[in-house]
Amino acid sequence: MGALKPPAEDVMIHAEGLTVGYGERPVLKDVTFTVHAGEIVTVLGGSGCGKSTLLKALIGLIRPLRGSVRIRGACITGSDREAALESIRRHIGVLFQYGALLGSLSIADNVALPLEEFTDLPRSLIADLVHFKLDTVGLADYAHFMPAELSGGMRKRAALARAMALDPEILFCDEPSAGLDPITAAELDELLLECNRALGITMVVITHELASIEAIATRCIMLDKSAQGIIAVGRPEDLKNHSADPRVRAFFHRQPSLMRPEAASVAPEG
């Protein structure tokens, strides 16, 4: 595992007492955690545990029912929410689960969108930056292709190039390996690690893919549907080998039998 070690004092994201849901129905309750600069934090758990809902709250797509979120010190959940969101948008990138590329635009035009919206750069410089970003993800020769003409893995890399267009300090990724074969998923993991190592980008990655978690995570935050919140925080190897919680052990060892009452009383090895 080669992710950067976080400076203890450099907080990039802080959620405090966060309760999020839809209408008045909470999905997650009283969630508190911190992400430091340079970390790759994976948010994991079973289906329906609230991973994507938490991501939406962290990037301002939904308003929490209670609690606060601070991104780079700016509170995006307070009375000045819109101003705070505007102040951080240039500093974050989002890789959505299915890429969310605009099908009517070429790959190059998709990557250019954030640069056109958030900068006053001339078109010639934007074109140069788009070429550089696409080259970084291995798609320089596909700039004029449409999203439908690319494979799933190539669309994910194109979406990553767009998310990286403004050189964000924080990158949020929602299930980046979803729908990819193991080799393509591993290549995307390597690309994320390289962005972290070379550029120091802080990442929050929503995933349930064990191979990706073990390959890229500095720390893990594990959510549970029945608990409606966090049940474990730690390094993936520690959660896998030393957790006393049968739900955590069952997840990391892919063994549903560990959830049974007779297994819950067995101490983890190590």
Query: Percent of the chain at pLDDT above 90?
Result: 57
Contact 189, 178 (CB under 8 A): no
Q: How many helices (H) and strands (E) does the chain have?
A: 10, 10
Q: Is 119 helix (H, G, I), strand (E, B) or coil?
A: coil
Q: What is the pLDDT of residue 2?
A: 47
d(CA 75, CA 56): 15
pLDDT in tens, 64-115: 999 999 998 889 998 888 888 888 888 999 998 766 888 899 999 999 999 9
Residues 166-188, buried b or exposed e (16+ Cβ, 10 A)? bebbbbbbbbbbeebeeebbebb
250: CB partners within 8 A, 6+ apart: 256, 257, 258, 259
All structural domains of the chain, each given as residue ranges with its CATH number in brackets, are 11-234 (3.40.50.300)
Q: What is the pLDDT of residue 270?
A: 45
d(CA 207, CA 256): 19
Sheet of 40-44, strands arranged across: 92-95, 170-174, 202-206, 40-44, 219-224, 229-234
C-alpha pair distances (Å), 35 with each of 111, 207, 210, 234: 27, 16, 20, 12
Contact 246, 255 (CB under 8 A): no
Closest listed residue to residue 3, CA positions, set 203, 157, 139: 203
- Calculate mean pLDDT across residues 180-189: 89
Radius of gyration of the chain (CA): 19
Q: What is the pLDDT of residue 51?
A: 92
